[in-house]
């Protein structure tokens, strides 16, 4: 089913999305990948506030290529989500509602998704030029020294993703592969 949703994500939207839905996201999302996750994790260990609030937000696992002049961003496709599995449950427990990446998630992440009624979306890996067209603004909001791994606020319009793991724990990577294996 095709859905158009707004980001930040409401509880109702997060709960109603189903594994396999094709979703267009419009609104504000944030990027973070390996190095930014490590820093956020360490900040939490020190009982310091995160540079970006997690409640209702969507994190896009992505580190862009540099923008050419006059463009908001360079190539901007998803990176492999499993590298963030160590950090994701803690952020989900702090209210994170959505993650965009590619590839399988751990059981601990799936459990945290179900526990917090959140969603894991996949964007098409290796389609960074196409996906960059749905990003209208990009601004570094934290960890500037990390370069491509800094946390960015992105404004997106009809950003195309597919629901892989829904709030009930259904996983499209498992169900769809079963449908086509022979």
Which positions touch another protein (CB under 8 A)?
20, 22, 35, 62-68, 71, 74-77, 79-80, 82, 102-104, 122, 124-133, 146-148, 160, 162, 164, 172-173, 175-182
Q: Smallest gap, in angstroms, from Cβ of residue 162 to another protein?
A: 6
Q: Smallest gap, in angstroms, from Cβ of residue 174 to another protein?
A: 10
Q: Smallest gap, in angstroms, from Cβ of residue 140 to another protein?
A: 15
User: Given the complex with another protein, which of 31 and 116 has the nearer CB atom?
Assistant: 31
User: Given the complex with another protein, which of 33 and 97 has the nearer CB atom?
Assistant: 33
Q: Smallest gap, in angstroms, from Cβ of residue 45 to another protein?
A: 18
Distance CA 174, CA 176 (A): 6
User: Given the complex with another protein, which of 54 and 82 has the nearer CB atom?
Assistant: 82
User: Given the complex with another protein, which of 117 and 133 has the nearer CB atom?
Assistant: 133
Q: Smallest gap, in angstroms, from Cβ of residue 49 to another protein?
A: 25
User: Given the complex with another protein, which of 48 and 174 has the nearer CB atom?
Assistant: 174
Q: Which of 143, 98, 142 is nearest to 123 (CA)?
A: 98
Q: How many CB atoms lie within 10 A of CB 170?
A: 16
């Amino acid at each position: 089913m095709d859905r158009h949703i707004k980001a930040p994500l409401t509880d109702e939207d997060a709960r109603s999305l189903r594994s396999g839905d094709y979703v267009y996201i419009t609104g504000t999302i944030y990027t973070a990948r390996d190095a930014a996750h490590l820093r956020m994790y360490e900040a939490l260990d020190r009982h310091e506030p995160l540079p970006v609030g997690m409640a209702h937000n969507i994190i896009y696992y992505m580190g862009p290529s540099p923008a050419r002049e006059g463009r908001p961003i360079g190539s901007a496709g998803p990176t492999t989500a499993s590298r963030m599995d160590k950090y994701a449950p803690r952020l989900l427990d702090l209210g994170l509602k959505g993650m965009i990446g590619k590839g399988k998630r751990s059981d601990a992440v799936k459990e945290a998704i179900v526990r917090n009624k959140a969603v894991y979306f996949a964007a098409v890996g290796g389609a960074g030029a196409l996906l960059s067209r749905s990003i209208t603004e990009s601004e570094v909001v934290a960890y500037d020294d990390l370069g491509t791994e800094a946390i960015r606020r992105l404004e997106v319009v009809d950003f195309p993703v597919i629901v892989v793991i829904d709030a009930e724990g259904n996983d499209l990577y498992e169900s769809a592969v079963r449908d086509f294996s022979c």
